[in-house]
Amino acid sequence: MLVQYDKVFTADVKKAVVRQQIGDLTANAMNVMVGNGQLWFGVDENQDYYILAVNP
């Protein structure tokens, strides 16, 4: 992942994360979306957060 970091976490993805306001997050029963779908994350039964998808 570190080798591909710049290809995965593009300027658009980073901008979406920086601009995201907590109150404006989009969530469903399983996932949370950042920006316009640039980043999706979830939480497991241990309350650990993980990235599900990055859409550069």
pLDDT in tens, 18-54: 999 999 999 988 899 999 999 999 989 998 999 999 9
The radius of gyration of the chain from alpha carbons, rounded to an integer in Å, stands at 12
Q: State the pLDDT at residue 18.
A: 97
Domain chopping of the chain, boundaries: 5-54
40, 32 in Cβ contact below 8 A? yes
| Residue 9 dihedral angles phi and psi, to the nearest 5° | -95, 75
39, 13 in Cβ contact below 8 A? yes
| 44-50: long-range contacts, CB 8 A cutoff, minimum separation 24 | none
Question: What's the predicted TM-score (pTM) here?
Answer: 0.83
